[in-house]
Structure 1
């Protein structure tokens, strides 16, 4: 076994030698990966320039407000459309689906109107009656009846052939579909006349505007959800504060009662899930034979009253199966990792001591959140202005599919003077989209991809900066021989300053490699989406293999980067050297790495789950009005599950932010521990920097692992 260890050590580099001058993160260091730092700075400046250019050329109104066939905004002040804020479609039957209506352009004349039509009418019926005054407002401005025949009016699309009762959605007139006794109607009618005086079914209109009813429901639900947030945001914030306090107390308690608390955590989660399984089974059994309890979840869809869901057997069955699978997974993991729990608990206890001495590390996630918020906001605004860049582009539209001028770019001001209308009668020069023929507009898709890539790079850099900063602070704690007296002053600030001043290039290099892999994964996901309808099994299989391989590669790079940043924080070397040193150090201590084996991550995951579940349960009882003390304070809500789910998700993210600091702490201490064993021997001249308790447990575990491998 000793020979195998020697071969392993020689293959993965020589162990660290004793250095009496080494006492933690190196103070005298120089800038690393300068070339990558310069590239990173240039990219950031270029990104700012891209955002500026997009802001100059773009117009957010093009995304927010609808545009008529002449390229004019509906509702724009100081224009003819100032009081006409809604877009009306002449022939809704030409519109294939709502995606065309909302995002692109429906192939029919579009007109800005002050209100949507509220009745059925056709041009044939309205032209010589008192209804013409009402019908005329949906014709092109300046149109006079009698100058053309009805056929010419419909051909030239001067007026709509028919109008149907509609209501504005997203500032567009959509048919006012209403279900009565399960039958789809518009203004209580199921049959209407089209422009040719032919009877048409409402279902034809529904098919033309497929998905509109779902869009109506989504808009209505969205408004109600917004109202719920407006009524309950104070209580949601209170839930977040409770989650923050509980997370902080949990970490503080770990310092003094790590062993007891973690065992209580493990058995607490197991017991809570077991009770949940029993309760779900009891509810499922008690609802047997109850009228209306066998309705499926998709049938009831979204309901305001939570009790409607709780009266369905299918819901309790889903909960019971999910909790059973989760319980079985936890028990199996604990059975296989039982021998490593003591080591994980010892590491967590040591980590809690480090955090206890450097409490400022608990609040560093706020810095990361702030930087990520800036990156996200800038990227989102840039994307919006890029999407709205360009001038109005007009193209020829014709009722004749064989028209040679169809879809050719045109100028509406000079269109009448051309011979297009003679060659293709009824053709029009209509607004198509926003764009242009300049280099900027030709490469707008490439600019969108650049925006996405730089956003991913900046996000990964921000995370890398946080990891390197925390690693430097915790390394300062570990390599202090007499704790806490030898811990440097303001270790977190000092580590952050070193990372920014000397290692921006190295952090940018590591995050660049990760960003490239993530962009490839995004491209593979896009191809997978495009090939979903493909029957080429070989291509689908190859794509699935590539996605799996690049997912594994991304996980491996994250692991290497994380440990490389720890070595950068300690020794101040460049990214490649630090990553190699970290990898070799872990391989020289592969048995100890096997001991760690993400057991600490599993325990911390249980902690996050317990915090989110506890705060979520409290939120459930409060918003359901089950707490008699606070019953009068419960806000009026459309959907009580909205604030409940928000509190659960937010509590988990808050706990995750606190516990990520813990994870980085444990990883840093583990690497330092491996180096400590190589540098020192525990003698008076070369004492260990680790605590005696941690050394005793890890040594004992290492001997047990070694003996099992040898046997």
Structure 2
């Protein structure tokens, strides 16, 4: 029945000896569409670079939208001063701006002050520097003058704090402030070492008060800078360790797999016991949750929570035991394929480092997208609108309700002379207006997804062709030295259309997901449970669909790399072959995912422990928090392991499809010998006669 539903097994072909050399171009129409798309994308980039002007975004603007150094009334004031720069220390500042008053000044402050009363020489206000102090407190309270200012330097014409005098300024300012204002002075006069620390402080602030967050953020950035040698050493150890681990996995794969399975069984058994004991305890003490101090404690002090965990642990334990009992032969096959994957990677070492090339290409695509987005955003002319117009206060002949209304367009160079003080009307910058730039941004966004997915697909097909060549070489010692180079040239010459087709499918699915996220964000203000349920189901469905399509695409690329057929035929053949061996597919996929996860964790823990030992007992570097370089290295190590094991995963997926085809195509006779290794033949009780 399986043959009728999912096609007939692959027949023996005496002319087949691995990836075909003589093949034709596939999915030419899709390649043509992709070339046209890239041409239009390049045209948009040229148009943006010619007509855009990033200076429009870089020129500082005050709170009223005036361009410092450009608009007529602030032409002699080239720099932007922030009343409270600490309010810019949030990741959303790039989209929402700093929530503090900003004014154009002729020079950044060269001295520091904190106003507590009495005379002051340089009080920075919205209309310049005031020397009068008669109403200084009132002006500060109304937000028209800054209570404090620090000696600053110009960065892109923005006045930012100078960090070398941080501690001296802090101690000097705090000493001059009355006791009841010391905490406020500490908060405002604590200077960060760099803008990076502002973002660190933002996240630390969730776990501590404002002043502690600023101090911790500064110390964390200091620790990273001071321990850069240890961090680089940890990264190097991770790279070397990953390579060695992959090479020796052929000998320790069986031990690691069975130890992992036994460990998982032991952990789940303990989880069942612990959940049951906690369930009995809280069932006998039903009011224990009343002593909880937060929602999480209340949750874990209820018997229903532990009943749910007991059921979940029991189901997982039962599934794992059934898999071990009834699918142990498939597990042995998965172990053998993991060993084969290690041999294949070891025989084609260049493939291990090949992902660096597409990674650089993807960074190039992202950089191009960002540059085009910035230039597109500056195509057009800035638009201004009248804001804060009050007809009772603006009664001059040139500025009254008959000539000016809120929302009217205005000109910055002439509006001040028409509606000057005491009229409170403002000609405020709204946006750089251009009716069609939104479509260019959308096109550029599609280019980002399609370009990144196309490069990822290119990497997968080249690796698939490399490992397929290794498998279908009868004598493994005869594998060509330039296998990766040959696979790259063959893919670029014949199969760019197939890659464009497969990556376009993923791009469309990702665009739908992004659109759903945008719609969900817009619908949150309605707080409708029915809408939330529908959106949750849609997002879950398209997430599952994208992952399924990625699985199909990867196997389609493998079949295309071997047989040279177009995307649809390759996807159909791969899907049919996998479905005819669904149990093997399931076990192999889960076993390899589990082993690779454990391998990543093992490498990350080992590297982190090594860095900790170096920082704690060997290095003389002075740092505040010893965990900072350790955590930083752990994050880097995980990403490095992901890159290396991506190659290993592709090797196993390719070898698995080749193995399934080998089993169907050949029977071990002299005319149709198996191409699989002796280890695989022993697992399956097969041999070449």
Bin of the TM-score, shorter chain as denominator length: 0.7 to 0.9
Deviation at 1:393, TM superposition (A): 3.0
Alignment check: 8 A CA contact 2:385 2:430 kept: no
Distance of 2:600 and 2:269 partners within structure 1: 18
1:367 is aligned to 357
1:395 is aligned to 385
1:164 is aligned to 147
Alignment check: 8 A CA contact 2:365 2:451 kept: yes
1:618 is aligned to 610
Structure 2 counterpart of 1:81, from 77, 82, 97: 77
1:12 aligns with 2:6: yes
Distance of 1:523 and 1:181 partners within structure 2: 54
1:474 aligns with 2:467: yes
**Comparing 328-337 and 33-42, the one that deviates more:** 328-337
Alignment check: 8 A CA contact 1:396 1:427 kept: no
1:490-517 deviation digits (Å, cap 9, x = unpaired) = 2111111111111111101101110111
Distance change (3 Å), C-alpha of 1:101 and 1:48: closer
Distance of 1:120 and 1:35 partners within structure 2: 71
Counting only pairs closer than 5 Å after superposition, residues 374-453 of structure 1 correspond to structure 2 as: 374-400=364-390, 405-415=405-415, 426-436=423-433, 441-453=434-446
1:33 aligns with 2:24: no
1:679 aligns with 2:675: no
Deviation at 1:570, TM superposition (A): 0.6
Deviation at 1:471, TM superposition (A): 0.7
Distance change (3 Å), C-alpha of 1:11 and 1:100: closer
Deviation at 1:567, TM superposition (A): 0.7
Structure 2 counterpart of 1:518, from 510, 516, 519: 510
Deviation at 1:401, TM superposition (A): 8.7
Distance of 1:494 and 1:413 partners within structure 2: 64
What TM-score does the superposition give when structure 1 sets the normalisation length? 0.72
Q: Cα RMSD over matched residues?
A: 4.8
2:235 is aligned to 240
Q: Which runs of 5+ in 1 are unaligned?
A: 191-209, 276-295, 298-313, 315-323, 701-711
Deviation at 1:581, TM superposition (A): 1.2
Deviation at 1:457, TM superposition (A): 1.4
Distance change (3 Å), C-alpha of 1:163 and 1:647: closer
Distance of 1:503 and 1:140 partners within structure 2: 65
Distance of 1:48 and 1:541 partners within structure 2: 41
Distance change (3 Å), C-alpha of 1:432 and 1:336: farther
Distance of 1:617 and 1:215 partners within structure 2: 32
Distance change (3 Å), C-alpha of 1:493 and 1:173: closer
* Paired positions, count: 598
Counting only pairs closer than 5 Å after superposition, residues 449-468 of structure 1 correspond to structure 2 as: 449-468=442-461
Deviation at 1:368, TM superposition (A): 2.5
Counting only pairs closer than 5 Å after superposition, residues 191-590 of structure 1 correspond to structure 2 as: 223-260=218-255, 262-263=257-258, 335-338=321-324, 339=328, 340-400=330-390, 405-415=405-415, 426-436=423-433, 441-485=434-478, 487-590=479-582
Distance of 1:612 and 1:565 partners within structure 2: 31
Alignment check: 8 A CA contact 1:255 1:356 kept: no
Deviation at 1:619, TM superposition (A): 2.2
Alignment check: 8 A CA contact 2:112 2:151 kept: no
1:396-428 deviation digits (Å, cap 9, x = unpaired) = 22253996611322112333676x67xx97144
Distance of 1:218 and 1:79 partners within structure 2: 39
Alignment check: 8 A CA contact 1:117 1:164 kept: no
Q: Which runs of 5+ in 2 are unaligned?
A: 162-169, 189-204, 271-292, 295-299, 301-309, 393-400
Distance of 2:534 and 2:95 partners within structure 1: 36
Distance of 2:94 and 2:250 partners within structure 1: 59
Deviation at 1:546, TM superposition (A): 0.3
Alignment check: 8 A CA contact 2:446 2:511 kept: yes
Residue 410 of structure 1 aligns to a residue whose secondary structure is: coil
